[in-house]
Structure 1
Amino acid sequence: MNISNLPTYATIEEASSDVLEVISKFVGVNTFFVAKNDKTNVDIISSYNRDEVILDTDFETLYRDSY
């Protein structure tokens, strides 16, 4: 394995769109996302919506209101 060809990222925000792109090829669901959760707020960093937009990137909500 040649590690030098693997992408590197400084932040989770940078990596999230690449991660979602790869996952979308294997996961048969409409929506999934990468989020930051600090038990007070939930911040969607990136989202993937296959057919219908359920959750937008940059959506923010209170932790107590998320489910």
Structure 2
Amino acid sequence: MSHASRAASSSPLRGFGVGLRADMVLLDDDPTAVPSERIGEIGVLATFVGGRCVHGAEGLRAHGPAPV
């Protein structure tokens, strides 16, 4: 079991779902899809702590809504 999955399973307040708060980052590229030597070049569009955007809200508006 990975550290992340162990942490998620150890608390009923962790995970993704309606009504839960999230700490996460929104990146401008997929770190699993770029060559390893390019991972350091991936930019951070936004940072969320406790479900609130604390950095990069202007980046979200610039990219517009996700396509459906």
Structure 2 length as normaliser, TM-score? 0.27
More strand by share: 1
* TM-score in terms of structure 1 length: 0.27
